[in-house]
Structure 1
């Protein structure tokens, strides 16, 4: 796939503190790439370096196979921190200023407002906007130059559940139009719903990179209930079960890779046990994230 961003051995030090340590990553065209990590992991620092807001200590990065330049940055729309708009100006007037700064045509303003569903509020002053509307206007400002890449730092930070859902759907819509999106977030569930690929940073170090689809693959867990006194003993004899745990009146069975709930159900039926509840539980991004952090602690 065509490379949009290539990071090689990127490092940023502040005195004795290493905020980003020898980071290497590839982001391909069309991906929605999530950068995850606890506070202080180097997410925002990395994005700041990529946007030339922060000077790197060493290493290099390339946009579209070329070193960063003013011309190259025109292909990138970004929200690195909470954007500053004039509260006494309307959304349209604020975006006119943004367009002038970015050298973008003012004809891009209305399409951008329409995309974020603020066209009917374009003449309202910014100070009258809700937090969710302000965040959507921020995304509109990043879309003004019709960028090929969008960089979003914590795009749903501080929003209520409805606002989070609105921004999530907006990101999906933008991605479906072919734009590459790179976002930093700590909301793991939202990343799993939006991103195609992700990496995990911890104290500036890359500890994992892969596709979101891979998270739910591999060994699965099955939650089951059965009105049979021998269920625990029978489950213990199943050679495809890696682990069996009792939680209240339910059992959680971790199965080998490739073994399904149907296989487990057939085994139990063959032993004369009928289950009343059988649900497959796939690994969540949150669970893998916590496992990765735990492994890195023990490394």
Structure 2
């Protein structure tokens, strides 16, 4: 896949504060790329530089293999902060103004309203919209010029559970249409549910980058319960056992490479033991995130 975005040694300092430190990153066409990190990690500053809102101190980046320019930025739609719309105008009228500013055909408005599922509310005043609807209208505005790339900064921030679910579904729908999406978030669940790839930033430094599908990889951990007193001793004799931890009356067995829960179950059965509970524990993004940040000290 071709690179949509290439970042080389991108750095931004504010006085003595190094908000982004020599960042190197690539985003390929069709990815939903999440920039994950706690508040103050440099996510928003990075997006600001990519959109020309913030000037880099050092380093460079390119979009579609070209240096940033007005023509290149026409291919990019962005929702960086809370958008500014006129509260007494309808969603339709607000988009008409945005289309005029962006020099986009007004014929695009009906299409983007349909994408964000606001067609039925297009003639209602913006001030009557819920926070989730306002965010969807902002995304509609960013899609007016049919961009190749969509950038979203904390797209579900402040939304209720229904609003969050709507935005997540919308992001997936837009990605399925072939667009590349870059989003910044501090919400682990959001990144795991909508992104294909992610990077972790900590105090301006890139500490991890890779596919979201890798989150569940690594050593397999199996939770085992059985009605015998010496379960721990028996499990320690299993050739696939690496370590055993005890939590809530269960044995959590970390397996060696190549061993799986079915092997544990077979071993117990061969030793005359029937497990009352045997379940593989998947590593969550939250656990991986904590591990990554801990390792980067």
Which residue is 1:97 aligned to? 97
On the 8 A contact 1:219/1:258 being kept in 2, the answer is no
On the 8 A contact 1:6/1:27 being kept in 2, the answer is yes
1:85 Cα deviation from its structure 2 partner: 0.9
> How far, CA to CA, are the matches of 1:102 and 1:196 in structure 2?
30
Which residue is 1:157 aligned to? 157
1:256 Cα deviation from its structure 2 partner: 2.0
Number of residue pairs matched? 297
Match of 1:219, SS state, is coil
On the 8 A contact 1:218/1:258 being kept in 2, the answer is no
1:217 Cα deviation from its structure 2 partner: 1.4
* 1:213-252 alignment, distance < 5 Å: 213-252=213-252
Which residue is 2:2 aligned to? 2
1:224 Cα deviation from its structure 2 partner: 2.1
Which moves more between the two structures, 18-27 or 97-106?
A: 97-106
1:235 Cα deviation from its structure 2 partner: 1.4
> How far, CA to CA, are the matches of 1:4 and 1:180 in structure 2?
8
1:201-251 CA deviation, whole Å, 9 max, x = no partner? 111111111111111112111122212222121112223222212222322
> How far, CA to CA, are the matches of 1:101 and 1:223 in structure 2?
58
1:44-79 CA deviation, whole Å, 9 max, x = no partner? 000000000000001000000000001111100100
Which residue is 2:44 aligned to? 44
On the 8 A contact 1:225/1:276 being kept in 2, the answer is yes
> How far, CA to CA, are the matches of 1:220 and 1:164 in structure 2?
31
> How far, CA to CA, are the matches of 2:80 and 2:189 in structure 1?
21
1:1-36 CA deviation, whole Å, 9 max, x = no partner? 111000000000111110000001000000000001
> How far, CA to CA, are the matches of 1:110 and 1:180 in structure 2?
22
Match of 1:199, SS state, is strand
RMSD: 1.0
Match of 1:105, SS state, is coil
Match of 1:77, SS state, is strand
* 1:119-268 alignment, distance < 5 Å: 119-268=119-268
Which sections of structure 2, spanning at least 5 residues, go unmatched? none
TM-score (norm 1): 0.97
* 1:58-77 alignment, distance < 5 Å: 58-77=58-77
> How far, CA to CA, are the matches of 1:242 and 1:195 in structure 2?
32
> How far, CA to CA, are the matches of 1:168 and 1:243 in structure 2?
38
> How far, CA to CA, are the matches of 1:96 and 1:162 in structure 2?
28
Which moves more between the two structures, 250-259 or 281-290?
A: 250-259
TM-score (norm 2): 0.98
1:104 Cα deviation from its structure 2 partner: 0.9
Which residue is 2:275 aligned to? 275
Indicate how the Cα distance of structure 1 residues 165 and 258 shifts in structure 2: closer, same or farther if over 3 A, else same.
farther
1:159-179 CA deviation, whole Å, 9 max, x = no partner? 111111111111011001100
1:185 Cα deviation from its structure 2 partner: 0.4
> How far, CA to CA, are the matches of 1:198 and 1:287 in structure 2?
15
Which residue is 1:115 aligned to? 115
